[in-house]
């Protein structure tokens, strides 16, 4: 037995020795032999270098440089390989870290769902109650479940809020547009201490008849946002005020987007406010506060295009390509129809921190300029009013039929158009003429004069385009235009246009 263990020990040591010898000869011995052969290399050099001559030495130098380049290239390739390997390892580590974070988020999401389930269980625990309290708790629990499980929790909350609610508003007898304008002006003054000129209120209501986008612009602190806020208070439904951010670049900033990870639609306050209007029967206002902090024609482009369509049934925005059973009620096939009772307001400060509003936006909107603060005036107290949008729309239609544009004023405006084309190479465009057909009659129905309505449209739609011209070389033409307005409409009229032309000449 002892002899066997001696044999096993010697055999084991021999095998280990042979394995070591193999690795030594494979990785160490070749380099040892290379170092031992340096003397032989030197003897070859000494034996033949004396007869090299110039050409021989030249080729020897070239060969030496090639060998150095070869070894440098090999070292470079090894370094590149090592760097790529390190990057690969780092990426794999980053992937592992990301996977761990995803697992952590999933766990936190699971914990949140568990917490919600506990809350629901607490509510369900009260289900054993008898009487109306039990039914109310059951309804609330069902609504919570619907909101948690839906892809659109905010919109489902709106559905639950208005479900079964009667939103009908009775018509107010003997209401006229002029009375409506006066009532709103008195309400803003008596209830909110906000004071606006009569002509501004007339421009506002006529503008809402002509366009779904009203731009309130001017210097800061002149009551632009307050006007939209007061209008919401007057109609007993607060205006939704959405602050625009400088980073907005596309429609997702307004409407939100579908998150593939959470399987939820990231709803914005703008979308919630817009969806709410589908349930209401009154005039609803959504305000884009400081709308020119970002480029309007980028993030609001889809709405600008939709509002050009003649048929209101085509005012549809796509939110999501597919629908599921518990999607919001008023979302049909992933699309939302923009209701006619919504008006978009945009406030804009004219300073260096904002973008210039393009002609594309101005042509589709009605712009009201604020250049001073309102002056207080005495008025009778006025309460808020519930007026259905259908009645306001009927008042607009009645005004168009009752106060059509006079032929004399239409011919004069056409002459003014030809004068501007001839002198400044600018045309009004079909949109402006179309808005005139609505704005002027409604402005007259609000208590204004037809010539003042033309003055407002000409100043805000046409003269604004002059800012893109080189005014320094057109001062004589501007003076001719100023005289032409007096000649056509008489002195004392077109005050807004005369003031605007004077400012263009003075500032340039």
Q: What tokens were used for 332? A: 């049909």
Q: What tokens were used for 121? A: 């269980």
- Categorise residue 412: left if φ over 0, alpha if ψ from -120 to 50, beta otherwise: alpha
In a domain, 156, yes or no: no
- Share of residues in the chain with pLDDT > 90 (%): 50
In a domain, 168, yes or no: no
> Are the C-beta atoms of residues 441 and 405 closer than 8 Å to each other?
yes
pLDDT at 134: 47
Residue 356's pLDDT band (boundaries 50, 70, 90)? confident
In a domain, 155, yes or no: no
Residue 365 sits in the same domain as residue 408: no
Q: Which of 49, 64, 87 is the last residue of a domain?
A: 49
Please name the residue that has the structure tokens 């506060």: 289
Q: What tokens were used for 354? A: 């904002």
Report the CATH number at residue 331. Answer: 3.40.50.300
> CA-CA distance, 238 to 495, in Å (whole number)?
35
Q: To which H or E segment does residue 199 belong?
A: helix 198-210
Q: Which of 350, 367, 400 is the last residue of a domain?
A: 400
Q: What is the mean pLDDT of residues 468-475?
A: 82
In a domain, 160, yes or no: no
Q: Which of 358, 385, 400 is the last residue of a domain?
A: 400
Residue 188 sits in the same domain as residue 108: no
- Evaluate if residue 137 carries a pLDDT over 50: no
- Evaluate if residue 365 carries a pLDDT over 90: yes
Residue 124's pLDDT band (boundaries 50, 70, 90)? low
pLDDT at 133: 47
Residue 130's pLDDT band (boundaries 50, 70, 90)? very low
Instruction: Give how far the C-alpha of residue 18 lies from the chain's centroid of Cα atoms, to the nearest Å.
Output: 75
- Reduced to 3 states (helix: H, G, I; strand: E, B; else coil), residue 234 is helix
Which of 372, 370, 255 lies closest to 318, judged by CA?
255
In a domain, 240, yes or no: yes
Domain that holds residue 486: 403-508
pLDDT at 38: 61
Residue 411 sits in the same domain as residue 395: no
Please name the residue that has the structure tokens 């003897």: 43
Residue 6 sits in the same domain as residue 127: no
Total of domains in the chain:
4
Q: What is the mean pLDDT of residues 263-283?
A: 94
Could you tell me which residues are beta bridge partners of residue 366? 214
In a domain, 158, yes or no: no
Backbone φ and ψ of 428, nearest 5°: -70, -50
187 burial type by CB count under 10 A (0-12 exposed, 13-18 middle, 19+ buried): buried
- Evaluate if residue 391 carries a pLDDT over 90: yes
Q: What is the mean pLDDT of residues 69-82?
A: 84
- Share of residues in the chain with pLDDT > 70 (%): 82
- Evaluate if residue 199 carries a pLDDT over 60: yes
Residue 423 sits in the same domain as residue 287: no
Residue 299's pLDDT band (boundaries 50, 70, 90)? very high
Which of 151, 380, 181 lies closest to 256, judged by CA?
151
| Per-chain mean pLDDT for the chain | 84
Residue 396 sits in the same domain as residue 482: no
Highest mean pLDDT among 92-96, 146-150, 399-403, 413-417: 399-403
> Are the C-beta atoms of residues 184 and 208 closer than 8 Å to each other?
no
- Evaluate if residue 160 carries a pLDDT over 50: yes
Residue 97 sits in the same domain as residue 41: no
Please name the residue that has the structure tokens 């032929």: 407
Q: What is the mean pLDDT of residues 156-165?
A: 91
| Secondary structure (H, E, C), 142-186 | HHHHHHHHCCCHHHHHHHHHHCCCCCCCCCCCCCCHHHHHHHHHH
Residue 446's pLDDT band (boundaries 50, 70, 90)? very high
Residue 74's pLDDT band (boundaries 50, 70, 90)? confident
pLDDT at 218: 84
Provide the Cα torsion 471, 476, 478, 482; round to 10°: 160
- Evaluate if residue 269 carries a pLDDT over 60: yes
Q: What tokens were used for 336? A: 């939302």
Note the pTM of the prediction, 2 decimals: 0.73
DSSP code per residue over 99-135: HHHHHHHHHHHHHHHHHHHHHHHHHHGGGG--SHHHH
Per mean pLDDT, which range of 201-205, 210-214, 340-344, 356-360 is the poorest? 356-360
Residue 29's pLDDT band (boundaries 50, 70, 90)? low
- Evaluate if residue 26 carries a pLDDT over 70: no
> Are the C-beta atoms of residues 185 and 198 closer than 8 Å to each other?
yes
C-alpha pair distances (Å), 445 with each of 75, 137, 172, 230, 369: 88, 51, 17, 22, 21
Enumerate long-range contacts of 258-266, CB under 8 Å, 24 or more apart.
258/151, 258/320, 262/109, 263/151, 264/151, 264/152, 264/153, 265/151, 265/152, 265/319, 265/320
Residue 283 sits in the same domain as residue 337: yes
- Specify the DSSP class assigned to residue 435: H
In a domain, 25, yes or no: yes
- Reduced to 3 states (helix: H, G, I; strand: E, B; else coil), residue 508 is coil
> Are the C-beta atoms of residues 235 and 476 closer than 8 Å to each other?
no
Residue 143 sits in the same domain as residue 57: yes
In a domain, 163, yes or no: no
Q: What tokens were used for 1? A: 């037995």
> Are the C-beta atoms of residues 192 and 233 closer than 8 Å to each other?
yes
b/e map of 107-136 (b: 16 or more CB within 10 Å)?
A: eeeeeeeeeeeeeeeebeeeeeeeeeeeee
- Reduced to 3 states (helix: H, G, I; strand: E, B; else coil), residue 240 is strand
Q: What is the mean pLDDT of residues 243-257?
A: 93
Residue 423 sits in the same domain as residue 293: no
The larger pLDDT score, comparing residue 422 to residue 59, is at: 422
Please name the residue that has the structure tokens 């390190």: 86
Give the up-direction half-sphere exposure of residue 371: CA atoms within 13 A in the CB hemisphere: 6
Residue 264 sits in the same domain as residue 382: yes
Q: What is the mean pLDDT of residues 6-35?
A: 67
Residue 274 sits in the same domain as residue 288: yes
- Reduced to 3 states (helix: H, G, I; strand: E, B; else coil), residue 474 is coil
Residue 6's pLDDT band (boundaries 50, 70, 90)? low
- Evaluate if residue 126 carries a pLDDT over 60: no
């Amino acid at each position: 037995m002892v002899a066997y263990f001696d044999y096993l020990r010697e055999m084991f040591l021999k095998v280990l020795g042979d394995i070591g010898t193999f690795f030594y000869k494979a990785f160490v011995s070749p380099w040892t032999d290379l170092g031992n052969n340096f003397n032989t290399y030197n003897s070859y050099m000494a034996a033949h270098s004396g007869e090299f001559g110039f050409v021989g030495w030249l080729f020897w130098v070239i060969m030496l440089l090639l060998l150095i380049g070869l070894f440098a290239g090999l070292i470079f390739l090894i370094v590149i390989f090592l760097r790529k390997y390190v990057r690969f390892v780092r990426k794999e580590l980053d992937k592992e870290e990301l996977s761990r974070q995803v697992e952590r988020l999933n766990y936190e999401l699971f914990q949140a769902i568990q917490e919600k389930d506990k809350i629901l269980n607490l509510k369900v625990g009260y289900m054993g109650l008898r009487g109306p309290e039990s039914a109310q708790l059951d309804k609330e629990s069902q609504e919570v479940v619907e909101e948690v499980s839906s892809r659109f929790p905010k919109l489902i909350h709106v559905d639950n809020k208005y479900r079964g609610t009667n939103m009908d508003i009775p018509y107010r007898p003997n209401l006229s547009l002029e009375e409506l304008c006066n009532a709103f002006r008195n309400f803003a003054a008596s209830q909110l201490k906000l004071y606006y000129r009569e002509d501004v209120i007339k421009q506002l209501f006529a503008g809402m008849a002509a366009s779904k986008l009203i731009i309130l612009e001017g210097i800061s602190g002149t009551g632009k946002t307050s006007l939209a806020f007061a209008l919401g208070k007057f109609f007993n439904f607060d205006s939704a005020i959405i602050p625009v951010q400088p980073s907005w670049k596309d429609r997702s900033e307004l409407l939100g987007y579908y998150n593939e990870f959470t399987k939820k639609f990231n709803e914005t306050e703008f979308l919630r406010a817009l969806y709410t209007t589908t349930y209401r029967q009154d005039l609803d206002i959504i305000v884009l506060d400081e709308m020119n902090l970002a480029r309007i024609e980028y993030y609001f482009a889809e709405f600008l295009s939709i509002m050009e369509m003649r048929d209101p049934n085509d005012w549809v925005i796509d939110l999501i390509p597919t629908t599921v059973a518990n999607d919001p009620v008023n979302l049909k096939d992933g699309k939302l129809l923009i209701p006619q009772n919504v008006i978009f307001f945009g406030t804009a400060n004219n300073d260096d921190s904002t973008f210039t509003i393009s002609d594309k936006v101005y042509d589709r909107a009605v712009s009201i300029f604020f250049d001073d603060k309102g002056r207080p005036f005495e008025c009778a107290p006025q309460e808020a009013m519930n007026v259905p949008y259908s009645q306001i729309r009927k008042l607009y239609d009645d005004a168009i039929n009752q106060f059509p544009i006079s032929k004399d004023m239409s011919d004069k405006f056409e002459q003014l158009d030809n004068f501007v084309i001839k002198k400044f190479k600018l045309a009004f465009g079909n949109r402006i003429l179309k808005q005139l057909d609505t704005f002027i009659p409604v402005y007259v129905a609000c208590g204004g004069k037809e010539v003042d309505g033309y003055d407002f449209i000409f100043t805000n739609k046409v003269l604004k385009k002059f800012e893109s011209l080189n005014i320094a070389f057109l001062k004589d033409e501007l003076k001719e235009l100023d005289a032409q307005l007096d000649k056509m409409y008489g002195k004392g009229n077109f005050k807004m246009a005369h003031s605007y032309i004077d400012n263009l000449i003075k500032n340039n």
